[in-house]
Amino acid sequence: MGTVNRVAVVTGGSRGIGRAVAERLARDGQVVVVVYASNDTEAKATVDAIEAAGGRASAVRADVADEAAIAALFDATEREFGGVDVVVNAAGIMTLTPVAEMDLDALDRMHRTNVRGAFVVAREAARRLRPGGALVNFSTSQTRLLSPTYAAYAASKAAVEALTPVLAKEMRGRDVTVNAVAPGPTATDLFFNGKDEAAIERFAKLNPMERLGTPDDIAEVVSALAGPARWVNGQTVYVNGGVA
């Protein structure tokens, strides 16, 4: 019998950091299910890139906050590939505004994806991950940097940082790790949106490496947590080039 591939589900996997993670896990030999919110073209491009590099992938459109859709996604993955070994919770949205000017509908939308969505996906992962599995959530270094306008976003990700070690403890006896990665300023469309050149340069200089992170920088750490790094558990790993 041949080698059985590990199977990874990556939410937010069609663009930015999520896409880099999907492509990296595929290079690591994992079968990847790319979960995306709306952009069919970007999802197809991600799957095509993985397959062109010799990997195996499929794409599923689903709202991470919809528990029925996420349960159906896991059902389909188990039917097609035999099970789920890795779940990467990379879907997220970011609205930046001072607290005094915060639009509460925007707050609710962000928390629906970043908090409820993280819980819905984590809940399904907790029920389904096979022994030797890993759940990797996404936080942000803004839970430490605490820059003006980031209150609502950082609050949504602080919830993820609280969820992560609690779930790690709840998985006792299952041989499943639960960790979070917290990127610093990273060169993605999500980061660049609404920032002028001066702001981008300021963020790039925050760390001693004096550059923005790249999606591949983040994917490298996810790759370790999703595979060989079995003794890291219940942690939030700050992947930011040394920002304080």
At 151 the pLDDT is 97
Structural domain that includes position 229: 7-239
Distance CA 224, CA 55 (A): 18
- 55-105: per-residue pLDDT in tens? 999 999 999 999 999 999 999 999 999 999 999 999 999 999 999 999 999
Decide: 16 and 40 in contact? Cβ < 8 Å.
Answer: no
Give the mean pLDDT of the chain: 94
Show which residues are catalytic: 153
Any domain includes 75: yes
Q: What is the pLDDT of residue 189?
A: 84
Spatial CB neighbours of 177, under 8 Å, sequence gap ≥ 6: 133, 134, 135, 168, 171, 225, 229, 230, 232, 233
Q: What is the pLDDT of residue 195?
A: 85
> What integer pLDDT is reported at residue 4 of this predicted model?
61
Q: Are 176 and 232 in contact (CB under 8 A)?
A: no
With respect to residue 198, please indicate whether it lies within any of the assigned structural domains: yes
Q: Which two tokens stand for residue 230?
A: 């079995």
244 in any annotated domain: no
Number of structural domains (the chain) is: 1
Asked if residue 160 belongs to a domain, the reply is yes
Look up the CATH number of the domain holding residue 43.
3.40.50.720
Instruction: Write down the pLDDT at residue 5.
Output: 82
Q: Does a structural domain hold residue 53?
A: yes
pLDDT in tens, 98-108: 999 999 999 99
Residue 163 within any structural domain of the chain = yes
For the stretch 12-35, pLDDT in tens is 999 999 999 999 999 999 999 999
Domain assignment present for 1: no
Average pLDDT over every residue of 124-145: 97
**175-179: average pLDDT:** 98
Question: How sure is the predictor about 3, in pLDDT bands with cuts at 50, 70 and 90?
Answer: very low
Residue 235 lies in a domain: yes
Closest CA relative to residue 19, chosen from 34, 4, 41: 34
Exposure b/e, 173-196, CB count within 10 A at least 16 = b: eeebbbbbbbbbbbbbeebeeeee
Segment holding 31, helix H or strand E: strand 31-36
Place of tokens 């999802």: 43
